[in-house]
Chains A and B, each alone.
Chain A
Amino acid sequence: MQRPVSSLPLSQAVRLKLGSAGFQLTSDLQDFKPDKLSKETGLSEEEAVEVLKAVKGGGGGGSGDVSASVTALELLQKEEELRSIVTFSSQLDESLGGGIPVGKITEVCGVPGIGKTQLCLQLAVDVQVPQCFGGVEGQAMFIDTEGSFLLQRVTDIAAAAVRHCSLLAEDDEQRAAMETFTVETILSNIFLVRCHDYVELLAELHLLPDFLSQHPKIRLLVIDSVAFPFRLLFDELSQRTRLLNGVGQQLITMAINYNIAVVITNQMTTRIRDGQSHIVPALGECWGHAPTIRLLLQWEGSRRLATIFKSPCHMETMVQYQITPEGFRDADQSEMPQNKRPRMDTDQSAADPKDTSS
């Protein structure tokens, strides 16, 4: 393939040296050995090896520019194979088309006390629901910046999920799965990191790809919340924007490469516009572009509402939910509805049309 050398993912200095030595297209570099290349261009041996790797395609692990392209049909099939993580609120799951999608970033914003952390804890438990119950059967990674990951609450939610699934267990496969779906195993499958400021958060994100490679069963990454450590950077807003953009890039790369759902929570802030004050998600307009889906949790009177207000594939819908001692649930329901059954009876692939009558 004829490609100009300047389009390869290499550093500026290397490209300059290649250019001044007369290498314009990748075909010029085809038959070179590293030591010969370094002699001709003045690059170090290691840099020469890198150049040749980039030319052969792949630069060491799918760096995007040089990897093979995929057709839209392949993408559609891949997406349909990916399951979503249920939230145990059937109305919210329905409006999201099954649940929180894997491979995308979902942001949850809301005022303090509305239920953002509760939703995150619920998801950290729900990601572990066995596949024979329609779940993803993965592990969860929870990055806690506010200190709100309290073991008491996680245990409550885990116990309620186990109770719910054991009531639904019908056949032998499900009963066998319930042996390994207990409160203890649920807790052992949630990895927790506490970050106390934005530098620790950035460091954790840099080390995350290695961690995800070592634990390939992780299907969910939660950051609760991403706003808390960054709100302190009020003096250097341009640095904050730059750092947040970097964070957004890293998260979407991880979501796609490691097949995980990324859920981040954001705080609200007041913005004065036209003489009136509005409550809007924090971290600015730039950050709003990073997540794929944005959920807004808010109060209306004494009701809690969840609104999908940004999503490329869902309508803007508003559903009511409640927080019970068992966790995040639909409003006005004390027991799980019967419409959970179709999910188990149908074929394991999530490509089947869902039974939307509820």
Chain B
Amino acid sequence: MNCDQLLLHPRVSAALRRVQLKSVQDVVCASAPDLQRLTGLSNSDVQQLITAAAAACRRHPPITAQQLQHGVSGVRLGCPVLDRLLRGGLPVGGITELAGESGTGKTQVGLQLSLSVQYPAEHGGLGAGALYVCTEDSFPIKRLHQLIGEQVCLRSDVPADLVNSLRFSDHVYIEHAADLDSLQVCLTRRARLLLARGLVRLIVVDSVAALFRAEFQADDWLERNRRLLTFSSTLHHLSQEFSTPVLCINQVTDVFSQSHNSMGPSSSTVSPALGLAWANQVMVRLMMRRLQGTVIRGEQSSALRRLEVVFAPHLARDGQDTAVWREGLRGVESWTSNRK
């Protein structure tokens, strides 16, 4: 923003033009004595200038917690058991990470959310589509069609004619990003366009680790961290600006020894990839683990998994046994499953 747009005393504006101090950001980031020395203005003039610049940078004045919107909880998974674990679904305004070993069902979660976001708000969605960015394998289009076909079975809480009226496949936008640069372009241009037009209210990145692990050597970690921060900052800005939940799927890495400064309670042999730098950017961290045992239901059987909350500002550290069926992920509540 330009300083010309501020309401200032003519003397102050003249001084600013003289030293060619254009942007409001520069004024806010400079200290009062520096500005005084630069412009030759008096102390009170400089204070007035800083106050005007700061007021221009501010987006909203402070509100009380009571005035916050209640019930903008985010997008639900569609299974009441799992939604109870997540207390309503993925929150808006931060990054949710889902980490796990390969084959545990992380992509299934991404696909299920891409469909559940399309329901209207009263059924746990956000009434818009999803942007699915693939960085590893190609998009599992057959599985998506299978899930779409079984939506009536999964979402028994929604009237069948509503489910049938939604054109799910039209609203899942699929992007493939083969390297970091194209990922950044996809987020800054295509995602922004889709979000601005209201076509999309969910971003899924599957997976975050693949590109960052592939493109950097072990001693390039400084550069890798910079790119990681830039990438997550872009996601944060999109998430906050457009009130959109963001799901990042992550791989895991083995943990060999529990050192003193561990990042979590020592309970598992694997931990999410990309280290502390990435963990600092994540608001909600979920993990998917494979358990011993299978669940049988009719003629289908599924390996048992566990969806766990590692940390979240509003969730307790808890987990829920889950199975993957033809219609999607469902929490396994009763103890009738065959656990070995």
Chain A positions near chain B (C-beta within 8 angstroms): 9-14, 44, 46-47, 50, 60, 111-113, 117-118, 121, 141-142, 146-154, 184, 187-194, 196, 199-200, 202-204, 206-207, 210-211, 227-228, 231-232, 234, 239, 242-243, 246, 267-270, 278-279, 282, 298-303, 323, 325
Q: A200-B57, A231-B280, A299-B265 are in contact. Are A46 and B28 (CB under 8 A)?
A: no
The interface residues of chain A lying within 8 Å CB-to-CB of B40 are 11, 13
The interface residues of chain A lying within 8 Å CB-to-CB of B189 are none
Query: Would B266 and A302 count as touching, CB distance under 8 A?
Result: yes
Shortest Cβ distance from B177 into chain A, in angstroms?
22
The interface residues of chain A lying within 8 Å CB-to-CB of B94 are 146-148
Q: How far is the CA of A268 from the CA of B313 in the complex (A)?
A: 18
The interface residues of chain B lying within 8 Å CB-to-CB of A239 are 29
Q: How far is the CA of A26 from the CA of B266 in the complex (A)?
A: 67
Q: Is B292 an interface residue (CB 8 A)?
A: no
Query: Would A150 and B313 count as touching, CB distance under 8 A?
Result: yes
The interface residues of chain B lying within 8 Å CB-to-CB of A184 are 66
Please tell me which stretch of B130-138, B141-149, B161-169, B233-241 contacts chain A, meaning at least 4 of its Cβ atoms lie within 8 angstroms of it: B233-241
The interface residues of chain B lying within 8 Å CB-to-CB of A268 are 276, 280
Name the CB-closest residue of B to A125.
Answer: B65
Q: How many A-B residue pairs have CB under 8 A?
A: 173
Chain B positions near chain A (C-beta within 8 angstroms): 25, 28-29, 31, 33, 36-37, 40, 42-45, 50-51, 53-66, 68-70, 73, 87-88, 91, 93-94, 225-226, 229-230, 233, 236-237, 239-240, 258, 260-267, 275-277, 279-280, 282-283, 285, 310-311, 313-314, 316
Query: Would A112 and B62 count as touching, CB distance under 8 A?
Result: no
Shortest Cβ distance from B303 into chain A, in angstroms?
27
Q: A11-B43, A46-B44, A199-B25 are in contact. Are A193 and B62 (CB under 8 A)?
A: yes
B50, B266, B313: which contacts A301 (Cβ < 8 A)? B266
A113, A147, A232, A303: which contacts B311 (Cβ < 8 A)? A113
Query: Would A206 and B313 count as touching, CB distance under 8 A?
Result: no
The interface residues of chain B lying within 8 Å CB-to-CB of A60 are 44
Shortest Cβ distance from A15 into chain B, in angstroms?
12
A13, A149, A207, A323: which contacts B54 (Cβ < 8 A)? A207
Q: How far is the CA of A268 from the CA of B55 in the complex (A)?
A: 31
Q: A118-B313, A196-B240, A207-B55 are in contact. Are A151 and B282 (CB under 8 A)?
A: no
Q: How far is the CA of A298 from the CA of B58 in the complex (A)?
A: 34
The interface residues of chain A lying within 8 Å CB-to-CB of B61 are 193
The interface residues of chain B lying within 8 Å CB-to-CB of A47 are 42
The interface residues of chain B lying within 8 Å CB-to-CB of A298 are 261
The interface residues of chain B lying within 8 Å CB-to-CB of A10 are 43
Q: A50-B42, A298-B261, A301-B265 are in contact. Are A206 and B68 (CB under 8 A)?
A: no
Query: Would B263 and A152 count as touching, CB distance under 8 A?
Result: no
Given A147-B283, A203-B55, A279-B261, 14 more pairs with CB closer than 8 A: A11-B37, A46-B44, A111-B263, A113-B310, A149-B313, A188-B65, A200-B57, A202-B29, A203-B53, A207-B55, A211-B62, A269-B276, A282-B280, A299-B264
Q: How far is the CA of A109 from the CA of B264 in the complex (A)?
A: 15
Q: How far is the CA of A192 from the CA of B276 in the complex (A)?
A: 28
Q: How far is the CA of A231 from the CA of B226 in the complex (A)?
A: 9
Name the CB-closest residue of B to A60.
Answer: B44
Most B CB contacts (10 A, CB to CB) among A13, A153, A199, A323 go to A199
The interface residues of chain B lying within 8 Å CB-to-CB of A207 are 51, 54-55, 58
Q: How far is the CA of A278 from the CA of B276 in the complex (A)?
A: 12
6 A-B residue pairings within 8 Å (CB atoms): A14-B42, A50-B42, A191-B65, A192-B68, A203-B28, A206-B50
Query: Would A190 and B64 count as touching, CB distance under 8 A?
Result: yes
